[in-house]
Amino acid sequence: MQKLMALQKLQSTALDLSNADLRKYPFLPGKINLQNANLSHSNLALVALNKMDLRGADLSNSDLSGAFLNEANLSGANLEHANLTGAQLKQANLTGANLNFAILTSANLQNAILTKTVLTCANLSNADLSKSTVTQATISGANFTNTITNDIVDYDSVSDSNINCS
């Protein structure tokens, strides 16, 4: 019974992998709990995180360039200043995520859920947002140069104000 209680306590504590080089770690859904994990300033370039539960995770200032986050749950995650260049985020849930100043150049966000997502000063140039849901998103100062926006859902509810991102 004591071992079980210790294991439950460990699982309820958020994992701290901040500043780690995780490029060669084999993340498997259901095998590691990344919910609310601290992955800030970590190197996750080209890492496969498909279908991972990253709800509430801190990925701020992390390198996720070329990462595979298809069908990942990133709701409430902090991705501020994260580098997601060329990342695959098809059908990812980014509800309420913070993507302020994130670099999403050439990222694939097809069918992603961006409800209440904050994209202030984010760079989405050459990204693919086809069929994504952007209900009540904040995109103030975001760069959408050459972004594919075919069949975006609920774009009319987006909040956009003129701000200085420098």
What does the pLDDT look like over 135-149, one tens digit per residue?
999 888 999 999 999
59-113 pLDDT, tens per residue?
999 999 999 999 999 999 999 999 999 999 999 999 999 999 999 999 999 999 9
pLDDT at residue 5, as a whole number: 41
Whether the predicted pLDDT of 50 surpasses 90: yes
123-136 pLDDT, tens per residue?
999 999 999 999 99
pLDDT at residue 153, as a whole number: 86
Buried b (16+ CB within 10 A) or exposed e, 151-165: ebeeeeebeeeeeee
Please name which of 116, 120, 126 lies closest in space to residue 146, comparing C-alpha atoms: 126
pLDDT at residue 164, as a whole number: 83
Structural domains of the chain in order of their starting residue, each with its CATH number: 1-166 (2.160.20.80)
- Contact 78/58 with Cβ under 8 angstroms? yes
Percentage of the residues of the chain whose pLDDT score is greater than 90: 72
25-44 pLDDT, tens per residue?
998 878 888 999 999 999 99
